[in-house]
Copies of this chain bind each other. A is one copy, B any other.
Amino acid sequence: MRIRILIADDHVVVRQGIKTILNSLGEQHHVVAEAEDGREVLQLMDIHDVDVTILDISMPKLNGLETTRRLLKQRPQVKVVILSMFDDRISVEKALAYGASGYLVKDSAIEEVGQAIDAVYRGETYLSPSVAKYRQTFYHGMKNDYGRTETVINLTDKEREVLQLLAEGFTSKEIAVELNITFNTVNVHRKHIMKKLNIHKSADLVRYAIKEGIIRS
């Protein structure tokens, strides 16, 4: 077994780290190419025969998810492992919806990297333990034409409205006044938001809102 691998990450220390980890795990993993951004990945795929690509999710010029989508449209047989600093449901679902076979968070244990590559090479999927729970959500959602639409996350209009106000620091009581609905209804919306986003504290909610550009810091 000789697995040909392409590594894509804009940080040289990360690429170096992955290469070293793969070397330390044995002889079967061979890094045949490296890229600094998504467009470079697509170009390199014309030159090299690659079995598995490891794509950082946040690369300049063409991000990892978009790269996944385009790459697999051209070459469905290639396996993609997404490498990400984020372990939120949305990123994982997007990755799976776009056809990635693996999802590794960056603080994964060393052995995980090899396990993930071997698994996707065999045709399985591999998700880091901290995000494995989103696999169910994804397949469940797929029944209702999920994954097809770009909006993998499905907050309703009112929920987004409440989310923004929560993230901006309003209390439920204040939001009720603001939106002219009752305190109870606000709480229901918040419950639904938290359930959908798998968030359990307002602090996490604020960081989510900032990351998603719903509010600016």
- Interface residue ranges, A against B (CB under 8 Å): 10-21, 36, 83, 85, 106-110, 113, 166-169, 171, 201-207, 210-211, 215, 217
Contacts and interface: CB of A to CB of B under 8 A. Distances in A.
Nearest to A20: B20
A160 to B, nearest CB: 16
B17 A201 contact: no
Chain A contact surface mostly: helix
Contact of A108 (B12, B18, B113, B211): B12
Contacts of A18: 13, 16-17
Given A17-B17, A21-B16, A203 B106 contact: no
8 contacts: A10-B107, A11-B107, A12-B107, A13-B21, A17-B18, A36-B107, A167-B203, A203-B205
Contact of A106 (B11, B83, B211, B215): B11
Contacts of A109: 12
Contacts of A36: 107
A25 to B, nearest CB: 12
4 interchain residue pairs of minimum CB distance: A17-B17, A13-B17, A16-B17, A206-B206
B204 A169 contact: yes
A15 B17 contact: yes
A194 B79 CA distance: 44
Contact of A203 (B85, B206, B211): B206
Contacts of A204: 169
A39 B20 CA distance: 27
Contact of A210 (B108, B168, B207): B207
